[in-house]
Structure 1
Amino acid sequence: MGSIDKNRTSTAAFDRGNRPAPYPLPKTAYNAHQPVSAVVIGAGIAGIATAVLLKAKVPNLTLTVYDRHARVGGTWEENQYPGVRCDVPSHAYQLSFAPNPHWTEFYAKGAEIREYYEATAKKFGVDKHLRLQHEVISAVWETEDAHWHITVRDLVAGTESTVAAQFLISATGRLNNAAPPNIPGLDTFQGAVVHTARWDHHSAADILDNKRVAVIGNGASGMQVLPAVLPRVARLRHFARTRNWVSAAFNGGLTARAAQKGNPAGHAIPEETRKHFASRDGQGDYLAYRKELNATFHTGIAGFYAGSDANAKLRKDLTALISERVNHDPELLAKLIPDYAPMCKRLTPAPGYLEALSDPKVDFVQTPIARVTTSSIETTDGQSFAVDTIITATGFPDNYTPAYPLVGRSGTDIRDIWGPGGRVGYPKNYFGVMAPDFPNYFFVLQAQGTPFSGTVPVKCEQTATYIAACIRKVQAQSYAALEPTQDATDDFDAVVEGFFADKATTDTCSSWWKQGPGPSRVTLGWPGTMHHKGDVTRTPRWEDFAFQRRKEAAANRFHYFGSGLTAREEDGDPDELTSYLVTADEVDLQTLHEGWTRGY
């Protein structure tokens, strides 16, 4: 082994010309929680979940939540048609941190779900940040001040104002902005025309009782509203061209058979059960029940694979179930069984719907509608059906673009990129939460962000947690903004397309899971399960982002180091300064010195 020359010196170590000048650090202490502001658009499930978690996970946050409706609830405020309810069990369709032992039905009605999210908003203090009946009509990013400038219309006063926020989060979901059907002559009809998402409770008796009623569409809302209104009408004409795979009730094994077959009212949860779950002695039982119920939503995705034995078995089982529910009527079966693979689109339990098709009051019409006259609906084969009321259960637009101009860093409206006919033509994004050229803009429960397992509320929680981590990164390290790079976005997009290439979702069917070129571009789903998404996104890949520094940090990225002290040390709280010390029984080596809530 050679010896070290002790007399040799390193010119690099002492050559001041090769070293930057000392940086004059600010005299303020390091504070990981600089003031930040965020606007959340939407006060439905996604908006409430996001607002609650941002309040808890981002200290020193100024938060505002806008929603155009008069009440909290999102899709459950917008959709109030007869029979509206969730087909996912109530005790799974709730936030993990806000369990509700008081659900009255196994499958809750829309009104009860809305009340739950109203109560949750109040419980966690989100109600103080709500601006209801306020509609966002535009949002423009300004690089100079690194803020979104958001124009908001007060729907009561009729006035407009502009607010600035560092972060903008779209939590509007997809099931809003009702899409009326484009049928010639619909505007000439002299009877009542009502969309399921624009239901008028006050006139329900006038438009239903002893009337000849048409229901156009057989998606989820059409399948719910038809059996609900059938007892009230004199005649029901059901116009439905699409064939859907109708399934058993989700988690039907945990509820009464009546909820699966022929009973749209679902299954009431006994009062004694609710009282027990809410009691101190019943907490363990309630947790065990929630775990049993939620575990059934994590059973894997074998049935999603195109051409698989699991998908073939699913087809066989669903065909048998549909046959049973229509009393093995060969004429109805010929009209109902789809020619595409199960899981090409979402399965629909639709309790009571198939049974209603056998009712002598129902005309099931699959021939396309040609036109609407002043008093009837005419089909392309020349038939005419006299009706007094038309219910359009035609859902919502099949795209994920915002309903307002959203202008990013380069001056481009995101609708001109994502929208039909746009530069890309579908919502190409990064991790189902951000898009390049739109700094500090996030979206929840939208394109590529929704795994095909798990439950919707927890999926919202996952995304909100990721957003909070991104905001804290900007907050703590002298940044003003972040956005994903185009390269990272391209790679993620390629992974998404590769993941779905062998799935049944790529079969040819009309589905709101899809948008873009060809019949097979899946835009809704995350490329994996809910647990997969949770693990993959737990720690953001900061190398996939481009950052804009705050102006004061332009000369040195470590400006935030400050004086060398922390704000906690300046506060001088001994308990805070020694929070790394716990009892020997409480020591957890896996989390020791980790976690954003502590500096150790």
Structure 2
Amino acid sequence: MDPRREDTIHHERFVKVVCVGAGFSGLCLAYKLRRSFQNYALTIYEKNPEIGGTWFENRYPGCACDVPSHNYTYSFEPKHDFSAVLASSREIQEYLETFAAKHDLRQHIRTSNLVTGASWDQREGQWNITATDLKSGEVVRDWCHILVHATGYLNKPAWPSAPGLESFRGPKLHSAAWDDGVEIEGKNVILVGSGASSVQILPAIRPVVKSAKVFVRTPRWTLPSPSTKKGDKFSPEDLERFATDPEAVMNLRLENERTLNSFFTMYMKGTVLQNQARQLLESEMKKLVVDPAVQEKLVPDFPVGCKRILPSGFPFLKSLMEDNVEPIYSGVKAFTETGCISDDGTHHQGDIIICATGFDLSFIPRYPILFRGHNLQEDWASSITGYMGVGIAECPNTFTLGGPWTPISNGPVIVALEAQADFVCAFIDKFQTEPGIHSMHLKAAASYDFRSYMARATKRMVWSESCRNGHNIRPNWGQASITWPGSTLHYLEALREPRFEDYEFEYSGGGGRFAWLGDGISQTEWDATADLAYYIRDKDDGRHLSRGARRREITKSGTQPPRELHRQAKLSTPDA
């Protein structure tokens, strides 16, 4: 009997994909699959009643992105009618809803469905999924060949660890779980936190609250709000130009993105750009905060970028100096029925407590993921065995989007999520068109070597310094950081051509690893509309055979005027 399959070479077998999460990452994966794949099924489980992920959940006063609006989109899907330089959460949510509708993605999405578990069936080569329909309470059972976790890193609010919060008799709000039904006008508010959400909340609520006590435990490097010549909002003339002149929007996006991609060496210790940034920000912040005693409280003594820079923090600093605002330069020691106690023992009374205390950034899955004697929840509680933001050691047919070592705060992030979706699709394509593959998993040795390299590379980054930050999640893990220690452009090049050799492929069925060769008939011959002489041409326009040549073509090398290169070796002093 001929051991070859009866199908053609690279026959596209049916593949079933389950994705958890319908935010930027999950929607991007859905789009990529619809654009390029056939003979597949995709189900996206989303715990919220609407898509959008963190942008659906975060609706606090003043909530907005902290990068230019026109660049907080997919690289291939611009939005021309953003109303402000920094888009509100509502506008970003509308963008994602429009994107899903335009590309017919909702057919794949089950909202109000909370995934509660996933277990690997080795014999069948599939994942068995359980979820709960939050509307009906029904238990949903599903299965898939490929499981993708796109839950992101901003999806589980972190409440203050100080005891007694449950005893507070007034409303308790969290920036990521805002209750619009709570009236804050005319109230005495306690705002805990001074990070990315707090710097947006305070300027938005200060004009309407009676008073605000703001707990500032750690200073942050801040920037003035980006704006046009006429303010933070785009003018009617701007909006008209964007609506009628696509080239104007493209030029704005290109200018912004080139700027965002030009500052990475600022995050490297001892570089000229790091020192210049520190001198500039310190000077600008001290112009705003003139009291030397207050400067000591609000101007950081750690490198710029050790904690995430707050691009629109000046309105926050100005608000701290208003008459109805009292900054408390302390942490919260405990909560009481009527307020909270600062580290020095002082009791602070309030009507409402707002916790702008961020998220649980541990990356530990919110549900058990069982495979080959492992539970990923338990494994990652002790050590994250990730890879390139997308891989999980020894976990079959599973990928992450926005996982550990994603470049989350050192350059444009949306395009990095796109690169991750491309990476995952490359593996889905390999699985689909090589029908002998039973399963595939990241080799433990590859994950170990990767993490070892990341630890060494992180030593040169400013976020390896001793400031509390979201880059370094748990010191007991023995890992210096879970943020990519390179630029976004560096990350794109790293993911562009997947290293299949870092994965173990298990084969089954007739033909095994060569089942993909099929019956000797090409896909071209079975495609009635294909040209059987497609390779005859009058010039060589084929794919470049070296990685360098492919990179130069993709990045349009030679099209821009020469610029100064900020190399790692370019330090601030000759002996640094």
| TM-score (normalizing by structure 2) | 0.90
Partner of residue 280, structure 2: 317
Cα distance in 1 for partners of 2:243, 2:44 equals 31
Corresponding position of 1:271:
236
CA deviations 1:181-240 (Å, max 9, x no partner) are 12222211111111111111122x3xx111111001111111111111111111111112
Matches for 1:428-439 after TM superposition, within 5 Å:
428-439=385-396
Instruction: Show the counterpart of 1:469.
Output: 426
CA distance in 1 between counterparts of 2:504 and 2:466 reads 38
* Deviation (angstroms), 1:274: 2.9
Residue equivalent to 1:175: 154
Question: Does 1:346 find its partner at 2:303?
Answer: no
Aligned partner of residue 59 in structure 1, secondary structure: coil
Counterpart contact for 1:508–1:520, Cα < 8 Å: no
Q: Answer whether contact 1:57 1:468 (CA < 8 A) is retained.
A: no
Matched length: 545
Would the aligned equivalents of 1:139 and 1:148 in 2 still touch at CA under 8 Å? Answer: yes
The equivalent of 2:571 in structure 1 is: none
Q: What amino acid sits opposite 2:242 in the alignment?
A: F
Q: Confirm or deny that 1:447 pairs with 2:412.
A: no
Alignment check: 8 A CA contact 1:451 1:528 kept? no
In structure 2, the residue matched to 1:62 is 41
Measured after TM superposition, the shift of residue 73 of structure 1 is 1.1
2:481 alignment partner in structure 1: 523
Kept after mapping to 1: 8 A contact 2:261/2:412: no
- Secondary structure at the residue paired with 1:202? coil
| Distance of aligned partners of 1:374 and 1:112 in 2 relative to their CA distance in 1, 3 Å threshold | same
Which residue does 1:264 correspond to in 2?
Answer: none
2:70 pairs with one of 91, 97, 104: 91
Per the alignment, residue 366 of structure 1 pairs with 329
Q: Identify which range, 308-317 or 293-302, moves more after superposition.
A: 308-317
Distance 1:368 1:105, change over 3 A: closer
SS for the counterpart of 1:169 is strand
**1:44-443 map, 5 Å:** 44-203=23-182, 205=183, 208-249=184-225, 252=226, 255-256=228-229, 258=231, 267-279=232-244, 282-326=245-289, 328-349=290-311, 350-408=313-371, 410-419=372-381, 422=382, 424=383, 427-443=384-400
Task: Tell me how far apart the structure 1 counterparts of residues 252 and 488 of structure 2 sit (CA, whole Å).
Answer: 20
CA contact (8 A) 1:398 1:512 kept: yes
Does structure 2 conserve the Cα–Cα contact (< 8 Å) formed by 1:49 and 1:457?
no
Secondary structure, counterpart of 1:62 in structure 2: strand
- Provide structure 1 residue ranges, at least 5 long, that are not aligned to the other structure: 1-21, 259-266, 596-600
User: d(CA) in 2 for partners of 1:396 and 1:451?
Assistant: 14
Deviation at 1:325, TM superposition (A): 2.4
Amino acid at match of 1:277: F
In structure 2, relative to structure 1, the CA distance for the partners of 1:433 and 1:322 (3 Å cut) is: same
Displacement of 1:480 in angstroms is 2.4
Long gaps (5+) in structure 2? 551-576
For residues 301 and 72 of structure 1, the distance between their equivalents in structure 2, rounded to whole angstroms, comes to 32
Q: Is the 8 A contact 2:27 2:105 kept in 1?
A: yes
Aligned to 2:567: none
What letter matches 1:255 in structure 2?
Answer: T
Partners of 2:466 and 2:407 lie apart in 1 by 21
Q: Given that residues 431 and 448 in structure 1 are in contact (C-alpha distance below 8 angstroms), is that contact kept between their aligned partners in structure 2?
A: yes
What is the distance in 2 between the residues matched to 1:210 and 1:88? 32
Q: Which of the numbers 473, 487, 492 marks the counterpart of 2:445?
A: 487
* 2:387–2:404 CA contact under 8 A, matched in 1: no
Residue 563 (structure 1) aligned to one of 519, 524, 528? 519
Contact 2:396 2:439 in 1 (8 A): yes
- In the TM superposition, what whole-angstrom CA distance separates every residue of 1:531-584 from its partner, at most 9, and x where no partner exists? 2222222222222110121x324x5421222211134423422x45454456x5
Task: Give the aligned residue type for 2:541.
Answer: D
Check whether the contact 1:496–1:526 (CA below 8 A) recurs between aligned residues. yes
The letter of the residue matching 2:139 is: E
User: RMSD in angstroms over aligned alpha carbons?
Assistant: 2.2
- Flag the 1:285–1:358 CA change in 2: closer, same or farther, 3 A: same
Distance 2:337 2:204 in 1: 26
AA at the equivalent of 1:217: G
In 1, the alpha carbon distance for the partners of 2:532 and 2:113 equals 44
**Partner SS state of residue 392, structure 2:** coil
Rounded Cα–Cα distance in structure 2 between residues aligned with 1:579 and 1:185: 72
Bigger mean CA deviation after superposition, 369-378 or 498-507: 369-378
Change beyond 3 A, Cα 1:371–1:532:
closer
| Distance (Å, rounded) in 2 between the aligned partners of 1:240 and 1:383 | 15
What SS does the aligned partner of 1:191 have?
A: coil
SS in 2 for 1:232: coil
CA distance in 1: counterparts of 2:367 and 2:485, whole angstroms: 28
1:5 counterpart residue number: none
Q: Does 1:499 align with 2:440?
A: no
* CA deviations over 1:21-78 (Å, ceiling 9, x no partner): x852233323442111111111111111121112223332211111111111111111
Counterpart Cα distance in 2 of 1:529 and 1:58: 30
Q: The residue matched to 1:73 in structure 2 has which SS?
A: coil
Letter in 1 for 2:194: N
Letter in 1 for 2:212: L
Aligned equivalents of 2:190, 2:493: Cα separation in 1 = 47
Q: Write the distance in 2 (CA, Å) between the matches of 1:69 and 1:348.
A: 28
Assess if the C-alpha contact under 8 Å between 1:175 and 1:396 holds in 2.
Answer: yes
Determine the C-alpha separation between the residues in 1 that align with 2:233 and 2:535.
49
The residue type paired with residue 243 of structure 2 is A
Contact 1:137/1:151, CA 8 A, preserved across alignment: yes
Alpha-carbon separation, structure 1, partners of 2:444 and 2:139: 35
Helix, strand or coil: the match of 1:377? Answer: strand
From 14, 20, 35, the equivalent of 1:35 is 14
Q: Which deviations, in whole Å up to 9, do the C-alpha atoms of 1:227-280 show, x marking residues without a partner?
A: 11111111111112122111234xx3x63485xxxxxxxx2223333333333x
Equivalent position SS for 2:279: helix
Deviation of the 1:524 alpha carbon: 3.4
Equivalent pair of 2:157/2:358 in contact (CA under 8 Å): yes
Taking the aligned partners of 1:34 and 1:591, their CA distance within structure 2 comes to 29
Q: Which AA in structure 2 matches 1:151?
A: T
Pairwise mapping of residues 9-24 of structure 1 onto structure 2 (< 5 A)? 24=3
Which amino acid in structure 2 is aligned with residue 494 of structure 1? S
What amino acid maps onto 2:397 in structure 1?
A: N
- The alpha carbon displacement at 1:167 in A equals 0.7
Q: Per the alignment, in what secondary structure is the counterpart of residue 364 of structure 1?
A: strand
Cα 1:577–1:200 change in 2 (3 A) is: farther
Q: Distance in 2 between matches of 1:244 and 1:283?
A: 37
Please give the TM-score of this superposition, normalised by the length of structure 1: 0.86
CA displacement 1:468-509 (0-9 Å, x = unmatched) = 111111111221221111111111111111111121110011
Indicate how the Cα distance of structure 1 residues 171 and 556 shifts in structure 2: closer, same or farther if over 3 A, else same. closer
Highest CA radius of gyration, 1 or 2? 1
Q: Which residue of 2 aligns with 1:10?
A: none
Deviations 1:370-426 (A, max 9, x none): 322222322232322221111111111131111111112x2211121111xx2x2xx
Answer with 184-193 or 222-231: which moved more.
184-193
Q: Secondary structure at the match of 1:220?
A: coil
Describe the shift of the 1:256–1:148 C-alpha distance in structure 2 as closer, same or farther (beyond 3 A).
farther
> 1:461–1:27: structure 2 CA closer, same or farther, 3 Å change rule?
same
Q: Which residue of 2 aligns with 1:12?
A: none
Q: Do the aligned partners of residues 338 and 527 (structure 1) sit closer, same or farther apart at CA in structure 2, a change above 3 Å counting?
A: closer
| One-letter amino acid of the structure 1 residue matched with residue 193 of structure 2 | G
3-state SS in 1 of match to 2:68 = coil
- Letter of the aligned partner of 1:314 in structure 2? A
Is 2:496 the partner of 1:538? yes
Work out the CA distance in 2 between the residues paired with 1:47 and 1:523: 25
Shift of 1:517: 2.7
CA contact (8 A) 1:42 1:170 kept: yes
Distance across 1 between alignment mates of 2:178 and 2:346: 28
